[in-house]
Amino acid sequence: MKLPAFAFGERPLKITKPYLAGTDVRHLQQALKELGFYDESVDGIYGKITDKAFKRFKKYLGEERDERALEILKIYRDYGIGSWKTSRGDFSNAGHIPFIIPDKLNSLFYKNLKDVKAITAYKNRIFVTCENILICVDAKDGRVLWYNNEINPRYPVTATSDCLIVPEEGITLIDPFRGKVLEKIKLEHPVCGSPVYYKGKIIFADEKGKISAVIPKRGTVWEFNPGGIFTTPPVYYDDNLFFASYDRNVYCLDMTGGVLWETKISDYINEPLFLQETHLFALGDGRLFAFDRFSGETLWLKALPEKDISSYCLAGGKVYILSKKGNLYIINTMDGDFSGVAALPMEPAGLLFGNEEKLLIGSKGGLFVYKISENGVTLKEKYLEGHEIRAVAFTGRCLFVATKEGLFVLS
């Protein structure tokens, strides 16, 4: 049956006689199904079962307004429900969680997986990088779907719909559904960091400071060598690539390898850049640089109270910088002014993620959830106390947390 065409969120959805039908209802059902709130066929008809599923989703959000719930669901769908493509979530490296973090999380199941290094995800499959092995877990029930112990990931894998990209000495491509090796791409120099994936291209830095783009089965399509002995792994946002080189420049390339801008700076940058919307950031030697991502203009430079940084994230117009001593510094993105500082009750474990409302911080003694307000941040919840947090992945409804002991799933 051909459904009437309606844009998602274009009209109110409610029980009527006859039932509403349309492409908007189909999109709603598909999104709710991927989140685990709807188990029936995606027929595009807004009946009682669909209505109950939508109400369950609103209850999960703590949201009574249909319009707001549909708006949130559209954000989920556009980002990619079930997708946590890199160890930082997406290719912008911002540590931003585009999903609502519930006020209370409950344990769903636990998997005894040791030595977890990183987690990525795609469409209800969780890819767990351990020492000399990659394990695929069903996100719904925790079943191990496959494992591959013939690889040795040097960095966290990148998850895509087409393949898993494993950075080894070269690049190994793995079928995400069967775990079989699809292709081994040999390189002149080993990969440095996790690759970016863009419309069939795999883009990465190597250990000699060069940025390259390859297409599986075809090989290298372009290279860019800025001349420095080291280049940070590239990050991607809005059809542009960003990285820093040891020639003391920050670069922006288009997706064909052409230089859009370059900006000279005073520091060597060792960590990947991170960005969100209009601002690009780089952590130097105890200093934070902010650039206009369109022009490369240096907007401001901020000296940090500590040089040893554990992690960072961008959320709600703020940069959150977590030091290895456990101090959380809050900096305004527009002017670089400090707007607050908080002390973590435990030694941090290099994990900081967040959105406009909450922060997730991993520590040596548990996972902490902080509430964000105009007055700063307040500790609201503690999970997995006594556990050393190694990695996290949030796929829309479920939070996957790797600890020293194993993999916990919360919702």
Query: Is pLDDT above 80 for 1?
Result: no
Q: Tokens in use for 363?
A: 């520590």
pLDDT tens string 358-369: 999 999 999 999
pTM value > 0.85: yes
**Cα-Cα end-to-end distance for the chain:** 36
User: Considering the domain boundaries, does residue 286 fall inside one?
Assistant: no
Domain membership flag for residue 200:
no
| Cα dihedral 255, 281, 291, 307 sign | negative
Q: Give the pLDDT band of residue 123 (cuts 50, 70, 90).
A: confident
Examine residue 184 and state whether it is found in any structural domain, yes or no: no
Is the model more confident about 123 or about 24?
24
Residues 158-181: pLDDT tens digits? 999 889 999 999 999 999 999 999
- Residue 198: what pLDDT? 95
pLDDT over threshold 80, residue 292 = yes
Q: In this predicted structure, what is the pLDDT of residue 275?
A: 96
pLDDT score for 3: 87
pLDDT interval class at 103 (50, 70, 90): confident
C-alpha dihedral sign at 54, 145, 191, 389: positive
Residue with tokens 């792994």: 233
Question: Which CA distances in Å does 128 have to 288, 368, 405?
Answer: 32, 22, 14
Percent of the chain whose predicted confidence (pLDDT) is above 90: 80
Identify whether the C-beta of residue 323 lies closer than 8 Å to the C-beta of residue 306. yes
Per-residue confidence (pLDDT) for residue 319, from 0 to 100: 97
Tens-place pLDDT, residues 48-77: 999 999 999 999 888 889 999 999 999 898
- Is 262 domain-assigned? no
- Supply the DSSP string of 126-137, one letter for each residue: EEEEETTEEEEE
Residue 158 CA to its chain's centroid (Å)? 10
- Is 50 within a domain? yes
Our count of domains for the chain comes to: 1
**What are the phi and psi torsion angles at 215 (to 5°)?**
-115, 125
Cα Dmax for the chain: 69
In total, the chain counts a number of residues equal to 411
Amino acid 9: pLDDT:
86
Q: For residue 240, give both structure tokens.
A: 């542009």
pLDDT of residue 102: 87
Residue 56 lies in a domain: yes
Q: What is the helix, strand, coil percentage profile of the chain, to 5? A: 10, 45, 45
Would 33 be classed as within a structural domain?
yes
- Quote the domain boundaries for residue 29: 20-62
Is pLDDT at 374 greater than 90 in this prediction?
no
The average pLDDT across 333-360 equals 93
Torsion angles phi and psi, residue 67, rounded to 5? -60, -45
Q: Each residue of 199-245: pLDDT tens digit?
A: 999 999 999 999 999 999 999 999 999 988 999 999 999 999 999 99
Question: Exposed e or buried b for every residue in 213-251, given b needs 16+ CB within 10 A?
Answer: bbebeeeeeeebebebebbbbbbbbeebbbbbbbbbbbb
Nearest to 200, CA basis, from 227, 170, 160 = 160
Question: What is residue 140's predicted lDDT score, i.e. its pLDDT?
Answer: 85
d(CA 337, CA 317): 12
What is the distance between the alpha carbons of residues 328 and 322, in angstroms, rounded to a whole number?
A: 4
Which residue would you say has higher pLDDT here, 131 or 263? 263
Query: 35 lies in a domain?
Result: yes
> Residue 147: exposed, middle, or buried by beta-carbon count in 10 A (0-12, 13-18, 19+)?
middle
**What average pLDDT does this structure show over 374-389?**
93
Say what the pLDDT of residue 63 is: 85
Answer yes or no: are the C-beta atoms of 252 and 261 closer than 8 Å: yes
Average pLDDT of every residue of the chain: 94
